[in-house]
Amino acid sequence: MKEFWDERFKQNEYVYGESPNAFLKSQLTKLPEGKILFPLEGEGRNACYAATLGFKVDAFDFSEAGKKKALELADKKSVVLNYSISKSEDYDFGIEIYDYIVLIFAHLNPAIRPEIHQKIVKALKPNGRVIIEGFHPKQLENNYPSGGPKSLEMLYTAELLKNDFSDLNVLLTEEVETELNEGNYHKGKAFVTRFIGQK
C-alpha cells in the first residue's frame, strides 16, 4: 500500500486538491483554536487549512511523497505543520494531548481499526473531539466513481463508528449522499458517513 500511495502522491497536481474537505471546514470554523492531529493526512490540504485558522497541527502518513507535497503546500500558505512519517499502528498518539483528532477518508484495515480508534480516544484531552468523514458501504453498492476503498469491510457506517467510539458522547452522526469536489480522485456524487464524538 505504501507504494500505491507514493505513486499517487508523486503526481504533479494535488490529487485531492489543495482546498480542505467541506465538512471539516464547516466544523473547524466553529471551534476554538487548539492542538489538532490529522492521521493519514496525505498531501496536507486539511492540515494546512487548520493551520491557517491558528490551530497547532500535527499530522502523519506513511507516504514520503505525501509529506513532501504537504510541506510544500504549507510553505505556499505560510503555515507550519509538524508532519511525521509513520504507519497508524506505529504512531505514538500519546495520552490526553489533543483537543481535536480529524479522520477525513482515513480508512483503516479492520484488523487494526478498533485498536487505532481506541488510541485516538485516549489521545484526546477531556472535552476533546474526534471529527470523521468516511465513505459508507453505499459508496460501493451504488458504484459511485468518486473514490474510496474497493472493499466493503474498509467502509464506515454510523453504527460502526458509534461502537468504536462508545466511550465518547456522540455530538453528530449522519449517513448522507453528497457531492465531492476534491481534486481528480474525489469528484462527483458520493455516499459518506459523518461522526463527531466528544470525550
Q: Where are the domains of the chain?
A: 2-198
Give the CATH number of domain 2-198: 3.40.50.150
Query: What pLDDT is stored for residue 163 in this prediction?
Result: 97
**Residue ranges in the chain modelled with pLDDT below 50:** none
Query: What pLDDT is stored for residue 26 in this prediction?
Result: 96
Query: What pLDDT is stored for residue 5 in this prediction?
Result: 65
Query: What pLDDT is stored for residue 72 in this prediction?
Result: 95
Query: What pLDDT is stored for residue 158 in this prediction?
Result: 98
Alpha-carbon distances, residue 125 vs 50, 84, 157, 199 (angstroms) = 18, 21, 25, 7
Query: What pLDDT is stored for residue 1 in this prediction?
Result: 65
Which pLDDT tens digit goes with each residue over 114-142?
999 999 999 999 999 999 999 999 999 99
Q: Residue 20: how many CA atoms within 13 Å on its side-chain side?
A: 22
Residue 124 grid coordinates: 484526546
Closest CA relative to residue 139, chosen from 192, 195, 77, 73: 192
Exposed, middle or buried by CB within 10 Å (0-12, 13-18, 19+), for 154? Answer: middle
Query: What pLDDT is stored for residue 156 in this prediction?
Result: 97
Please report how the helices 64-77 and 2-9 are oriented relative to each other, as an axis angle in degrees rounded to 10: 40
Mean pLDDT score across all residues of the chain: 94
Query: What pLDDT is stored for residue 6 in this prediction?
Result: 59
